[in-house]
Each structure stands twice: as C-alpha cells, then as structure tokens.
Amino acid sequence: MTSDSSSSVLILGAFSDIGRALARSYAAAGRSLILAARYSDRLTRDAEDLRLRHGIRVDLVEFDMLETAGHSAFFDSLSALPSTVISVVGLLGDQARAAGDAVLAEHVMRSNYLAPALVLGEAANRMALRGSGVIIGISSVAGERGRASNYLYGSAKAGFTQFLSGLRNRLAPIGVHVLTVKPGFVDTRMTQGMKLPPLLTAQPEEVSAAILAAEAKRRDTIYVRPVWWLIMALIRALPERIFKRLKL
C-alpha cells in the first residue's frame, strides 16, 4: 500500500452498494482508496476501473468486521493510517425471525452496533495519537425511536448514533472529526423487494455525494434527504400513549 496517508480513504464494507458508490465518488475527487470487504476479490473489476479511470491507487484488503478480536491487527497491517475511515457495514435482518431467535438477534445487533463501534473506536485511538483524521459512520433514522417493525435494527443503530456522538465530543478538541450519516431509505440490495416511497428513497450515488460534501464542510450529522429531519422530529414528538398504538 501507499505510505502516503494524506488523502487516503478506507471504506469498510466496500462491496455494499453504498460502499461501491463511495469508492466512485472519492476516486473522482482524486482520493486514493483502501477497499475492505470480507471477499475483497469481488471488487477486483471495480478497483481496476477506478485505477484506469481516475489514475489513483486502489488497494483491496480482506476484512471481516464481526471478527472484533482482529481489529487492531487489521490496522497494524496497513502501511499507513488513512486520513478518512468510513464504516458502511450494516444488516437490516428479519425482525420477525430475530425476535424469536437470540442468535439472529445478536447477529443484527453486532453487525449494526458492536462491530462498527469497536472498529471505529480503534481507528479513533490511532487518529487521536496522530492528531488528525475523519471518521464517518453510517447510522440510520431507525435509531431515533423504537418501532415494532424493526426495533432490533433500530436499537443497534441508536447505540451506534450515540457512540458516534460521544466520539465526536471526545475527539473534536484534538483535530479528529466524526460525521454521522442518516440516509433514510436507500435503494440497495439490502432493501430489495421492499415497497419504498420514491420521494423518501435515495440512490447510493446520492448518499455518497452527500457524504463527500459533508466531509468537506466538516458537518457533524446529516440526513441525506433533509425531509427526514422533519419526519423524525414529528415521530420523536409523538406522546408514547399515541405512538404505541401506531403500526410503524
């Protein structure tokens, strides 16, 4: 890998639709890439295209975020700490099945909170020693209030959002910036088959463009489509006696 980390971006979960869109957006901006995925060979064609199209360095690395004991060794294996680390890893899961299966429930929770928080915490500690860097975590509007239809996923995203908030508060005085991203509905493989409202549903390229712009502006938290801010404010404001009667 390149020893120059001044403009490098590490994307964790790079094979996801949003991860691949992020790679294209950052490559177009001239940033070198480290694409991390459980089966990184599936990104070989993408990497070659980005190298040829944008003249940047693209490295592929194997990484399973759920193997939390290996997070430190993973960062040790990089020849330089990237300037930006983005976690795109997440799992919607099946709420109905997971509610009755502790193993499935744990998998949803680990995928959306524990593993992403631990890996970004590892990156944060290293960036804190360096005194610079950007950490970006993709959370969800689902974490703003627990709903019967996805409370396992939502509870994990709520924890991740609060983790990022605390990390931002801790690192701001020493020059490390933390960005929380709440995309709302996104048209990806994870939501395939779901009936999503077009006005509330972003494309992966829209998400990646919003993240790139938010990093440049040093934003703290963004809703990819601003209408989600209003929607979630209304949902949060509902009295519990009314909210618990709704089917959301």
Backbone angles phi, psi at 71, to 5 degrees: -60, -45
Higher pLDDT, 52 or 192: 52
Q: Which domain holds residue 43?
A: 9-243
pTM comes to 0.93
Residue 106 domain-assigned (yes or no): yes
Exposed / middle / buried, residue 147 (Cβ in 10 Å: 0-12, 13-18, 19+): middle
Neighbours of 16 (CB within 10 A): 21
Domain of residue 223, CATH code:
3.40.50.720
In terms of phi and psi (left: phi > 0; alpha: psi -120 to 50; beta: otherwise), the region of 130 is alpha
HEC secondary structure over 69-93: HHHHHHHHHCCCCCCEEEECCCCCC
pLDDT band at 242 (very low <50, low <70, confident <90, very high): very high
Instruction: Report the DSSP pairing between strands 185-186 and 84-87.
Output: unpaired
What's residue 6's pLDDT? Answer: 59
Whose tokens are 């299966």? That residue is 101
Beta bridge partners, 176, equal: 133
Cα 44 to Cα 52: distance, rounded to the nearest angstrom: 12
Among residues 167, 12, 169, which one has the least CA distance to residue 78? 12
Instruction: Tell me: pLDDT of 3 over 50.
Output: no
- Give how far Cα 146 sits from Cα of 79, 95, 113, 116, 241, Å: 41, 12, 15, 20, 14
Question: Cα–Cα distance between 176 and 135 in angstroms, integer?
Answer: 8
Residue 3 belongs to a domain: no
Asked if residue 4 belongs to a domain, the reply is: no
| Range scoring the smallest mean pLDDT among 49-53, 85-89, 173-177, 189-193 | 189-193
Kindly state whether residue 58 falls inside one of the protein's structural domains.
Answer: yes
Is 155 contained in some domain? Answer: yes
| Predicted local distance difference test score (pLDDT) of residue 5 | 52
Instruction: Give 153-191 as a DSSP string.
Output: HHHHHHHHHHHHHHHHHHHGGGTEEEEEEE--EE-SGGG
Q: Are strands 133-138 and 201-202 parallel, antiparallel or unpaired?
A: unpaired
For residue 247, the model assigns a pLDDT of 83
Helix 151-171 with 102-109: angle, nearest 10 deg: 30
In this prediction, residue 1 carries a pLDDT of 36
Q: Is the pLDDT of residue 208 over 90?
A: yes
Is the separation of the CB atoms in 134 and 83 below 8 Å? Answer: yes
Q: Is 1 part of any domain?
A: no
Give domain status of residue 26, yes or no: yes
The number of distinct structural domains making up the chain is 1
**Which residues belong to the active site?**
153
Assigned domain for 2 exists: no
